[in-house]
Structure 1
Amino acid sequence: MTVIELSENWTVTATAGPAPENVAGHAIPAQVPGSVHLDLHRAGVIDEPFDGANETAQQWIGDVDWTFETTFRWHENGSERRDLVAEGLDTIATVTLNGVEIGRTQNQHRSYRFDIVSALVEGENTLRVAFAAPVPAAHARSEEHDARPHVNHHPYNAVRKMASSFGWDWGIDVAGAGIWKPIRIETWDTARIASVRPLVDVRTGDAGATGILDAHIEIERADGLKQKAVQVDVEIDGQTVTAEIAAGATSAHVHVEVADADLWWPRSHGAQPLYDLAVRLVGLDEWTRRIGFRTVRVDIAPDEHGTPYAVYVNEQLVHIRGANWIPDHAFLTEIDGDRYARRIADATEANMNLLRIWGGGIYESEEFYTICDEQGVLVQQDFLLACAAYAEEEWLADEIEAEARESIARLSAHPSLAIWNGNNENIVGYSDWGWRATLNGKTWGEAYYRRLFPRLLAELDPTRFYSAGSPYSFSSYVSPNLDTHGTTHIWDVWNEKDYTAYADWKPRFVAEFGFQGPPAWTTLTNVVHDSPLEPYGEQMLVHQKAGDGNLKLERGYGPHLPAPATIDDWHWATQLNQAAAVRFGISYFRSLAPYNTGTIVWQLNDDWPVISWAAVDFAERRKPLWYALKAVYEPRFITVQPQEGILAAVLLNDHADAWSGDVAIRRIAFDGTLLAEATVAAEIVARGEATIAIPSELQTPADAAGEVLVIDAPGFGRGVHNFAEVVDQRLEKSPFDVSAEAVDGAVRVTVTARSYVRDVFVLADRGHVDAAVDSGLVTLLPGESHAFLVTGAPAGTDPAAFTAPLVLRHAGDLQA
């Protein structure tokens, strides 16, 4: 096979629509893979799309037809087949080669292969990809095929384009066009490998684990080899199994068994051994991947409480500590392997073991899945239907089936992929959001969730678990978002309740919940330039996409924190309250184990600089929420919860080893005076939990505003229970001594408490824009010290910069 990569000499031209005079009809240099927004910005035609209020000023881009063009040279090589392979076109396009139309596309989420034998010429060739304006196209298709309900302002449900590119309640509206994945010419003879689905299983017995591989190979034949047999070899773990694909046949199934196989485990349950797999069409083509042997099942068998949702890998229960994942950049081609690695490290370093790929984004990349394979991060991949009703007629159904088939096959090699999910919130939308009456009998997507996707998985990959939606109760006769059944989304808290209302639910598994907070100060002020800077400034609100978002932030901190007097205090208070809200929720949900088997917080990451639910902002700065997640997702974790009218300490031991020891419980005044104490012996089985009733003398404070309950156990992070909210506590504004010194290219900031210190944090970027801190939201008792290590600031940075009042903060400094 000969491959010609078509990544050079591209231009993009506005050919129709409301383009400015300096753009319309002018060929602008373009990068492929890329996006028209990025090309326009590089050419100096538009300002930075994420800055200020540029989103509004640049809406015309989505209303314009764009044509990408390149020239390349080709010389006759005698090959029988000549294909143009486009891995990703965004989205509705007509492709011509030397003026000859060779294909049309209408789906960003699939690849295309076009026969160009009749159009390819000796010497210079001209390739054009003409994209229809996405926003008018979406509206036109919606009207043509009967409009259906959707969130946000554009009918993204009428086109197979990434839904969030049209804007979301955390995302910028940058619906544009582009060749977003590689495009190339492949010339070949005889046959090629079209796809490989390496499906795995494990058989256990006295002799150990046997890894079972069933490799399903699809080939494409050129005319010259249609009536000849071909040989396929499958090599793994030092053995090769050979099969013959008979004349005229296009598929093969090869079964291989690997004795004494090392099993792949999710992180904190074991190692992640990966086996090199090679599939060879002998003398013609080769396909290679790394695979892992493991089994996955999800228990949804009804019980006396309702319906569980319990994930088992290799028949071992995995308590899910996860996060929802959105596209990590609004312009997908800006995400490289290194950025994926850093983002997944944000998950693993926060003790997460699962990422859910949300249905308004993309089928994630090979880089993403490869890193998850290596790091032991389980993945739930949504099919790409989100928060909308979708037509089931042929014009849309054919495309949805094509993309699903391709993605199921492509991702089947990855042991990290555990669960396929049919949609995000579409079933609950039909059931609870009033869609049924609006639709008045029109199709809405049920055929995809209950018939198409299960059928495709049964055909192509029956080894993964499938859920028809999220949330989902696994019954047609139970509300899809009932907390006692299956997976639950809890958004009433953010939208209308105090965060302590998380305790009003008793969920089996929480697949979405979260609370907003702003990004790091530097991330925010790099793009928001209101003067004066305030929560309701014009540009601030451009970077707050949630309905009444900043009002909800105010309502959210009101019962918990003193009202901030300055924009600096508003920023700190809303970040702190975001962390407190999610910490409260996860602490409560985890205390319900084993009844509750997991949480997937919304969300890990951002796709642009924005006030949002993310734990890590777009500029890759970890918000206080991230440090809270790291703490509450510790495998060994202590939380204090009210149970049947008294306080109880719940100890969770998500380790492979049992634990036993003494649990020390103390009630302490803010000045350090020990008011009462008790020691309780406890034993916890592996992957188990224990509940300890707090002794009566420790249950009730004499002075709620000035006392705290502390629980210590060897091997666990400390459990702290505040008897009052910050707004009601007598926290000192200056409760600690601090020193800072340069150490080995970093800065060590040491805080020593004189009285009780609640949630001390270094806003490192306010000391230097490149700085980051290793720990955060630290609570100290009088006499205790903690050293924060600040890295990233250039040599010579004054260590005292990280002890300044707007940098080194704690809950008490919000007091008047």
Structure 2
Amino acid sequence: MTTDEPDHQPRGASAAFRQDLGGEWQLAPSVSEAWRFRRLHAETGQEVGAFARTAWIPARVPGSVHADLLRAGLIRDPNEGLASLEAEWVSARQWVYRRTFRVELPASARLHLCFGGSDYGGDVFLNGALLGTLAGPHTPVRFDISGLDRGAEHLLAVLLREPPPEAGQLGRTSETRTLKPRYGYWWDFATRLIHIGLWQDVILEADAGTAVLDLFARADLDADLRRATVRVDVDLGGDTTVPVTVSLIHPDGRQDETRTTTRSATFELQDPEVWWPAGLGAQPLYRVRASVPGGASIERCLGIRTARLVHNAASLERGARPYTLEINGKALYARGFNMVPVDMIPGRDGVAERERALAEYALAAHANLLRFNGVAPIASDTMLDACDELGLLVWQEMPLTSSGTDNVPPTSPEFLANLDRDLPALVRRLRNHPSVVLLGAGNELTDERRRPADEAHPTIRRIQDHITALDGTRPFLPTSPSGPEYDLSVDAATGRPEDLHDVHGPWHYRGAHDSYRPHVLSRALAHSEFGCQAASRETTLRRYLTDGSPWPMDDTNPQVVHHGEWWLMRHRITEVFGPVDDLGTYVLLTQAAQGDVLRHALGWNRSRRDECSLALIWQLGEPWPNAHNTSLIDYDLKPKLAYYRCREANAPVALHLGLPGPVGKGHLTAAPQVLADTTGSGELTLTLHSLTGMTLQHETRSMIWPAAGQPLNVTLPEEPALLRAELLGEDGVLLARAEHWVARDQPQPFAALVGMPRTRLTLEQRGSRLVVRNAGVHVAPWVSLESPSDVLEDFSDSGFNLLPGEEHEVGVTLRGPEVGVLAVPLTVRALNATPLDLLWETP
């Protein structure tokens, strides 16, 4: 018997009643029903004959077919060169997973075979007999196998059918059939690699007649944060009259316990430990456990906090939705990133570690909100756990997304049936995580005229109804952008500024004018997605563009096109910097341009904090090594220079110079402003330096904040110049720093930087800090640091500029298997300096 019961997850289940059937399995492909003809589901051996015997492939469960084929050497790594094209056949097959097992659990009244989810669906056979059908990738399924012989060995086989024929990025949302995430069907940040696999847990569970299937714990917190009521609802399967023991485990290990026959329990807390977002307080986590006699327990986390969207004065005045997140009664300015998966192959080794690393990079860049876009799967348990622990708020959209041709939510009976089947399990997976504070129906959903859709659309309303019924504790947005304007464009900003509520874009680098102007003009209440592209690190490019040279980085190079055809920018770099003929220089210039645009956008949004509630960069990481992409951290987890500029702009105290852009007609008008989370005062120094380091302009002014910036005229010399701003507190301590390259508005305004005479850098390790010195007579632009590909790096700064004779200390933190055992080579380069290596000894 098959029952699609509430979210059955083995996390926290009692080991005595649970047997993990994950680990080593066998895998074989099948064209149509060749598996049935060969009886792969029913027989463990095949006789020699005219038909070749099946060559079984070692497999891992949970896992992915692509990962198993890669480990077996049967496909090239799809990350390399054009190899993903060679792997597209994988999703055009059915796949048979199988293993044998014996029941190792004690005798019990019932036994269930439980699947956490399969991608995409399939049939389950036990000892050759059809047991039942698996649903989509999100939906857990339980099979009652209570009569199974406890003394025999059993053959378990799972037949996964071909994935459904969904569209890639340029298709029709209205024709979407399923909730299978569509990024693998080809997207601007991902190749076409349609995932298939038994990618969630497979377990046996024994019980005495009743099973705890799930629990939902939520806290009602008083406005003064001094009292909380924790309510726990328990989902049971079987005899629901059995008493349930519910335990509340405090962060310090203390435990409250109650027994109930009503499937619900309540705990009253005085002076609870309140969960806060990063930067506002600590992240204490309670645990809630439910158990019944003779069965496995289920445990979930609980963070005691409130979350809602509230109006600011601007959204209220415009009649817009509220966009300001309020946590525990405190409104915050939300800043952070849009998130996509860390890998196209969920079963690849090290995915969980990469997810944790990316969350830590987000935190280090002062993020407090991450948006998980509807083009991808919902955030993994690993990522959600990390966000709970680190205080990163999560905006999670359901896996429904735009398509380009149309973005209209589907209404077909087939889609709605899949929605009703699959969505509840997604909501159950999310609802116990305190980090999840905002839910959405999907990404960039619109009507036929490309106006953002809302709750009046029946499919969006249906999604909202599911979320309300199963959760109802979090604010909901129908989609993002939520309109009435879709894009941040110059036309909208100048003609319809009051209609800029929640907007997306722009995303492309368009030179020294058009990349900057929309952000200056913007009156958006929420800027939930915008970006700018750059090339990956040179070492990353050489590691993955293996079917020839990575140069030239334009559409004459098939590899460069294959790894990011939407994001080519060599023509734009030529427009701004003049001709560039080598890969290293090109990479550095693209990353410098990306960083400058994104810092500019973040600064202008944050300077309108009373009007704009949030600003989220598209995107933090990438699931596949792109040649060009809008990611801030490339596939090898190497931060681009833009990561450091975004960290600078989002810091608790940041400088926004209020520049309209990097070029002007003889002068630029700045309006320096301190962007800070708290009030303060200090002294601001601005200096303008020539390419030889000569001081061309020097200004000092007292600053208080918050306060609007006051105009300051910057006279532009004939050649590009470095504008540097430094903010000192009342105690003389450096609070913030910002550097901008500026130039006269002319063709190729920054070409002189590329043609600068060479300078020379020197390196010295002083404990945990690296001292970089410019020993030449010309400025060293964009000094950048890099560690080897297998080392996670955290530098206090990168992409800075050094005047002649100047030195800069950079904090260095490295993590990796050889860090602390062997010296790690660090590479330091600048636009006009030969790269230098230094062997870094862990202090």
User: TM class by shorter-chain length?
Assistant: 0.7 to 0.9
Q: In 2, are the aligned partners of 1:264 and 1:271 still within 8 Å (CA)? A: yes
Which residue pairs with 2:841 in the alignment?
A: none
Query: 1:392 deviation in Å?
Result: 2.7
Q: What corresponds to 1:144 in structure 2?
A: none
Q: Match for 2:450 among 432, 450, 457? A: 432
State the identity %.
22
Following TM superposition, by how much is the alpha carbon of 1:740 offset from its aligned partner in structure 2, in angstroms? 2.1
- Give the TM-score normalised by the residue count of structure 2: 0.82
Residue 691 of structure 1 aligns with an amino acid whose one-letter code is A
Structure 1: how far apart are the matches of 2:183 and 2:22? 26
1:72 CA displacement: 1.1
Secondary structure of residue in 2 paired with 1:277: strand
* 1:331 paired to 2:345: yes
Structure 1 partner of 2:426: 407
Question: Does the 8 Å CA contact 2:18/2:105 hold for their aligned counterparts?
Answer: no
Q: Helix, strand or coil: the match of 2:598?
A: helix
Q: 2:710 aligned with 1:683, yes or no?
A: no
Distance in 1 between residues matched to 2:670 and 2:288, nearest whole Å: 54
What per-residue deviation string (whole Å, max 9, x for no partner) do you get for residues 166-213 of structure 1?
A: 2211112221421101101112113121111111231034xx521221
Q: Tell me whether 1:191 sits opposite 2:201 in the alignment.
A: no
Q: CA deviation at 1:44?
A: 2.1
Matches within 5 A, 1:748-767: 748-751=771-774, 754-765=777-788
Instruction: After TM superposition, give the deviation of residue 114 of structure 1 in Å.
Output: 1.6
CA contact (8 A) 1:659 1:683 kept: yes
In structure 2, C-alpha distance between the alignment counterparts of 1:162 and 1:24, rounded to whole Å: 35
Distance 1:661 1:742 in 2: 32
Q: Deviations over 1:433-462 (max 9, x none)?
A: 8x99xxxxxx9993232x222222322222
1:468–1:494 Cα change, 3 Å:
farther
Tell me which of 278, 292, 309 is aligned to 2:323.
Answer: 309
**Shift of the alpha carbon at 1:501?**
3.1
Give the 3 Å change call, closer, same or farther, for CA 355–212 of structure 1 in structure 2.
same
Between Structure 1 and Structure 2, how many residues are aligned? Answer: 764
- Find out whether 1:5 has 2:20 as its counterpart: yes
Distance 1:43 1:18, change over 3 A: farther
1:587 corresponds, among 591, 603, 627, to 603
Q: How far, CA to CA, are the matches of 2:659 and 2:694 in structure 1?
A: 25
Residues 289-300 of structure 1: matches in 2 within 5 Å?
Answer: 289-300=300-311
SS at match of 2:215: strand
User: Would the alpha carbon gap of residues 646 and 288 (structure 1) be closer, same or farther in structure 2, given more than 3 Å must change?
Assistant: same
CA distance in 1, matches of 2:373, 2:588: 29
Report if aligned partners of 2:774, 2:804 keep a CA contact under 8 Å in 1. no
Equivalent in the alignment of 1:663: 684
The residue aligned with 2:475 is 465
The aligned amino acid for 1:210 is: R
What is the alpha-carbon distance in structure 2 between the residues aligned to residue 485 and residue 799 of structure 1? 45
Q: Are the counterparts in 2 of residues 138 and 159 from structure 1 also a CA contact under 8 Å? A: no
- RMSD (Å), alpha carbons: 3.7
- Give the C-alpha shift of residue 605 in structure 1: 0.8
CA offset digits 1:712-736 (Å, max 9, x no partner): 3435312344441783475483575
Contact in 1 for aligned 2:410/2:459 (Cα 8 Å): no
Aligned residue in 2 for 1:376: 391
CA drift at 1:519:
1.7
How many Å apart are 1:798 and its aligned residue? 7.5
- Cα 1:179–1:264 shift into 2, 3 Å: same
Seen in structure 2, the aligned counterparts of structure 1 residues 165 and 667 have a Cα distance that, compared at 3 Å, is closer
- Determine helix, strand or coil for the equivalent of 2:183: helix
Cα distance in 1 for residues equivalent to 2:604 and 2:676: 15
Q: Deviations over 1:538-564 (max 9, x none)?
A: 5523542343x32xx134434432331
Task: Say if 1:566 and 1:755 are closer, same or farther in 2 by CA, change over 3 A.
Answer: closer
For residues 439-478 of structure 1, the aligned pairs below 5 Å read 446-449=457-460, 451-473=461-483
Match of 1:719 in 2: 738
- Residue 605 of structure 1 aligns to which amino acid in structure 2? G
Q: Deviations over 1:764-784 (max 9, x none)?
A: 45xx87585622111344553
- Say yes or no: does 1:173 pair with 2:192: yes
Gaps of 5+ in 1: 140-147, 247-251, 437-442, 810-816
1-structure distance, mates of 2:352, 2:85? 31
How far did residue 115 of structure 1 move? Answer: 1.8
Q: Deviation string for 1:127-160 (max 9, x for gaps)? A: 11111122xx426xxxxxxxx9962699993233
Distance 1:131 1:410 in 2: 23
- How far 1:288 sits from its partner (Å)? 2.4
**1:408-807 map, 5 Å:** 408-427=427-446, 430-432=448-450, 446-449=457-460, 451-473=461-483, 484-491=499-506, 493-494=508-509, 498-503=514-519, 504-532=521-549, 533-535=551-553, 536=555, 538-541=557-560, 543-547=562-566, 549-550=567-568, 553-611=569-627, 612-642=629-659, 646-655=669-678, 658-684=679-705, 689-695=706-712, 698-701=713-716, 705-706=720-721, 708=723, 710-714=725-729, 715-724=734-743, 727-728=749-750, 730-731=752-753, 733-734=756-757, 737-741=760-764, 748-751=771-774, 754-765=777-788, 772=793, 774=795, 775-788=797-810, 795=822, 805=833, 807=835
Q: Which is helix-richer, 1 or 2?
A: 1
SS in 1 for 2:671: strand
**Cα offset, 1:636, TM superposition:** 0.8
Tell me what 1:812 maps to: none
Q: Is the 8 A contact 2:273 2:304 kept in 1?
A: yes
| Contact 1:330–1:608 (CA under 8 A) maintained in structure 2 | yes
Paired residue secondary structure (2:449):
helix
Q: 1:559 to 1:581 in 2, by over 3 A?
A: farther
Letter of the 2:625 partner, please give it. Answer: P
| CA distance in 1 between partners of 2:67 and 2:573 (Å) | 38
**Aligned with 1:128: secondary structure?**
strand
- What amino acid sits opposite 1:193 in the alignment? V
Higher deviation after alignment, 295-304 or 312-321: 295-304
- Any conservation in 1 of the 2:577–2:751 contact (CA below 8 Å)? no
For 2:271 and 2:432, the matched residues in 1 are separated by 20
Letter of the 2:449 partner, please give it.
S
Residues 1:200 and 1:495: Cα distance change in structure 2 (over 3 Å): farther
Question: Closer, same or farther in 2 for the Cα pair 1:294/1:753, shift >3 Å?
Answer: farther
Q: Label 1:669 to 1:530 Cα distance change in 2 as closer, same or farther (>3 A).
A: same
Of residues 497-506 and 321-330 in structure 1, the stretch that sits farther from structure 2 once superposed is 497-506
Change (3 A) 1:311 1:76: closer
Q: Report SS of the residue matched to 2:61.
A: coil
TM-score (norm 1): 0.85
Question: 2:213, 2:33 → 1: CA distance?
Answer: 41
